[in-house]
């Protein structure tokens, strides 16, 4: 019995090694994970209280509509509740969009390298995938993406800032693009790292929703809000798009802790502002470290850096792993001689900066690089 054609041969998601496994395998006392762009400062203290308060309610199904969270998000973004699509992480919203709009007769346009879930979900739906290589500076080639759109294109993905390189597009570029994309094709702007962005002319994409019926904006609680483990993300679109997707969503796709934690996290704006500020300082420190050693670092508007080391990413990954640092190899991310490093907290970054020169020098010596 064979599963449908599109998924035969698809590799399962390869999660990073858990910290405890790495400790055991390499006999390490401390292991620092800088691989998944999580918030190294955790979540707002209000989150733990909200979760404790919900502990006696586990026998009840969650509110399938997510009414309270919807109301809070609608107020925050000054949109109607019906414009929101709540997901079990943004990952699920991406899946819902693909499931709702892509078929084997359609195609979808995306940048490459970019976030892997667009391609994976489009593949599962059997849609034709048109990948447009990012420009040398790491930014989306919007002209080439536009040229790739045809009558059968149903979704074009704009990852802003882009994962894995952290590069962001400005408002003028995005608007010019939106003006040109036909309204028969969704423009999904994935802003998973929105809270970290410092770019002056970063688009206020939610404000553009009224003008562009094909626009969908994605946000997540997994990064700056520190709720990656609870799985909450959402999309915002015009009502008509959200309405069509709703029946595809699992009835109880966010659990009660996800709802209450996201609500509590949303209210603590001071926590997000503090994390953004610390991330900015720590990012500059790490960037300076790599640049001082002659490595190219992409200009990142996120909480991670993509660094060209000139050494195969898997080799660098392994060397750091054995020394207690879990990074991401660029090999699976479309940058074979780069590593992606999540910005840690001050102590984590200092530990990295102390140890990294020795590891890199040893690597270069052993490779004759
Ligand atoms: C660009 C981008 N979009 C979406 C996601 C998925 O986020 P979530 O945890 O909300 O599913 C990530 C996570 O790494 C991401 O980098």
In this structure, is residue 1 part of a structural domain? no
Instruction: Please give the pLDDT value at position 15.
Output: 78
Predicted confidence (pLDDT) per residue in 272-287, tens digit: 999 999 999 999 999 9
What pLDDT score does 369 carry?
66
Q: Is any ligand 1 atom within 6 A of the Cβ of residue 163?
A: yes
5 located within any domain = no
Residue 254 has pLDDT above 70, yes or no: yes
Q: Look at residue 109 and tell me if it is in a domain.
A: yes
Number of folded domains that form the chain: 2
Domain around 231: 45-267
CA 363 to centroid of ligand 1, rounded, Å: 31
From the CB of 115, is ligand 1 less than 6 Å away? yes
Q: C-alpha dihedral over 21, 27, 29, 33, to 10 degrees?
A: -40
For residue 69, give both structure tokens.
């969270």
Confidence of residue 368 (pLDDT cuts 50, 70, 90): confident
Are 121 and 182 contained in the same domain?
Answer: yes
Q: How many angstroms does the Cα of residue 92 sit away from the middle of ligand 1?
A: 10
Asked if residue 156 lies in contact with residue 187, where contact means CB atoms within 8 angstroms, the answer is yes
Do 316 and 215 belong together in one domain?
no
**Residues whose CB falls within 8 Å of the CB of residue 9, separated by 6 or more in sequence, listed in order:** none
pLDDT at 17: 81
**Is residue 336 within a helix (H) or strand (E), and if so which, with residue range?**
none
Residue 220 Cβ inside 6 Å of ligand 1? The answer reads yes
DSSP string across 336-355: TTEEEEE---HHHHHHHHHH
191 in contact with ligand 1, CB cutoff 6 A: no
Question: Which residues lie below 8 Å from residue 335, measured CB to CB, with a gap of 6+?
Answer: 113, 164, 165, 306, 308, 313
Same domain, 202 and 307: no
Residue to mutate, 223, 232, 333, ligand 1, most ligand atoms under 8 Å from C-beta: 223
CA–CA dist 113, 115 (Å, integer): 7
When the pLDDT of each residue in the chain is averaged and rounded to a whole number, the result is 97
Q: Both 164 and 32 in a single domain?
A: no
**Residue 196 domain flag:** yes
Residue 201 shares a structural domain with residue 57: yes
Residues 162 and 85 in one domain: yes
Give CA–CA dist 325/32, Å, rounded.
5
CATH code, 21: 3.90.1150.10
Q: Which of 35, 169, 192 to mutate to test the pocket of ligand 1 (most atoms within 8 A of CB)?
A: 192
Mean pLDDT (whole number) for 182-202: 98
Kindly state whether residue 104 falls inside one of the protein's structural domains.
yes
- Is any atom of ligand 1 closer than 6 Å to the C-beta of 91? yes
Nearest to 320 by CA among 36, 28, 42: 28
Query: Could you tell me if 259 and 280 lie in one domain?
Result: no
Residues 99, 184 within the same domain: yes
Q: Are residues 261 and 308 in the same domain?
A: no
Cβ 37 under 6 angstroms from ligand 1: yes
3-state percent breakdown (helix, strand, coil) of the chain, nearest 5: 45, 15, 40
Answer whether residue 101 is part of any domain: yes
Give burial (CB, 10 Å; 0-12/13-18/19+) of 351.
middle
| The token pair that represents 342 in the structure block | 């999540």
237 and 359 in a single domain? The answer is: no
> In this structure, are 228 and 339 located in the same domain?
no
In a shared domain, residues 240 and 139: yes
- Percentage of the chain surpassing pLDDT 90? 96
310: left (phi over 0), alpha (psi -120 to 50) or beta: left
Angstrom CA distances, 264 to 102, 224, 228, 236, 267, stand at 35, 14, 15, 20, 5
Domain stops at, among 267, 294, 319: 267
Residue 190 has pLDDT above 90, yes or no: yes
The pLDDT of 338-351, averaged and rounded, is 98
Q: Are 168 and 162 in contact (CB under 8 A)?
A: yes
Examine residue 3 and state whether it is found in any structural domain, yes or no: no
Tens-digit pLDDT profile for residues 1-45: 899 999 998 988 877 788 999 999 999 999 999 999 999 999 999
Give the end of a domain, one of 216, 249, 267. 267
Average pLDDT rounded to a whole number, residues 247-265: 97
Count CB atoms within 10 A of the CB of residue 267. 13
pLDDT digits (tens, 9 = 90+) for 97-108: 999 999 999 999
The confidence score (pLDDT) of residue 16 equals 75
Beta-ladder partners of 233: 87, 220
Dihedral sign of CA atoms 239, 235, 230, 193 in order: negative
Q: What is the mean pLDDT of residues 139-153?
A: 98
Q: Is residue 2 part of a domain?
A: no
Predicted local distance difference test score (pLDDT) of residue 95:
98
Alpha carbon of 90 to ligand 1 centroid (Å): 6
Tens digit of pLDDT for each residue in 303-329? 999 999 999 999 999 999 999 999 999
Q: What is the mean pLDDT of residues 281-302?
A: 98
Longest dimension (CA), the chain: 62
For ligand 1, atom 7, the nearest C-alpha belongs to 90
Predicted pLDDT of residue 270:
98
Spatial separation of the C-alpha atoms in residues 137 and 160, rounded to whole Å: 14
Q: Are 118 and 110 in contact (CB under 8 A)?
A: yes
């Amino acid at each position: 019995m064979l599963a449908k054609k599109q998924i035969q041969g698809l590799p399962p998601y390869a999660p990073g090694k858990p910290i405890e496994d790495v400790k055991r395998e390499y006999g390490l006392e401390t292991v620092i994970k800088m691989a998944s762009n999580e918030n190294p400062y955790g979540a707002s203290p209000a989150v733990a209280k909200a979760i404790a308060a919900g502990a006696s309610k586990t026998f009840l199904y969650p509110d399938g509509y997510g009414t309270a969270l919807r109301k809070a998000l609608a107020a925050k973004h000054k949109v109607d509740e019906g414009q929101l699509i709540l997901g079990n992480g943004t990952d699920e919203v991406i899946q819902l969009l693909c499931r709702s709009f892509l078929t084997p007769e359609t195609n979808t346009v995306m940048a490459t390298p970019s976030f892997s879930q667009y391609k994976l979900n489009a593949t599962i739906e059997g849609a034709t995938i048109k990948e447009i290589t990012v420009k040398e500076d790491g930014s989306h080639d919007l002209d080439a993406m536009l040229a790739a759109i045809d009558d059968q294109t149903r979704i074009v993905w704009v990852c802003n800032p882009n994962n894995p390189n952290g590069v962001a597009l400005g408002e003028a570029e995005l608007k010019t693009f939106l003006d040109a994309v036909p309204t028969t094709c969704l423009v999904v702007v994935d802003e998973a790292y929105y809270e970290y962005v410092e770019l002056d002319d970063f688009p206020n994409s939610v404000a553009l929703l009224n003008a562009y019926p094909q626009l969908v904006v994605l946000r997540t609680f997994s990064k700056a809000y520190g709720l990656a483990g609870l799985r909450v993300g959402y999309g915002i679109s015009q009502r008509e798009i959200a309405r069509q997707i709703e029946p595809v969503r699992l009835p109880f796709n966010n659990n009660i802790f996800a709802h209450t934690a996201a609500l509590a996290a949303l209210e603590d704006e001071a926590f997000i502002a503090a994390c953004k500020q610390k991330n900015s300082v720590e990012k500059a420190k790490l960037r300076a470290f790599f640049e001082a050693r002659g490595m190219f670092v992409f200009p990142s508007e996120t909480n991670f850096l993509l660094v060209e080391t000139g050494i195969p990413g898997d080799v660098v990954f392994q060397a750091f792993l054995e020394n207690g640092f879990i990074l991401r190899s660029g090999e699976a991310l479309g940058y074979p001689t780069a590593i992606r490093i999540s910005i840690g907290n001050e102590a984590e970054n200092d530990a990295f900066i102390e140890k990294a020169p020795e590891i890199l020098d040893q690597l270069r010596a052993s490779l004759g690089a």
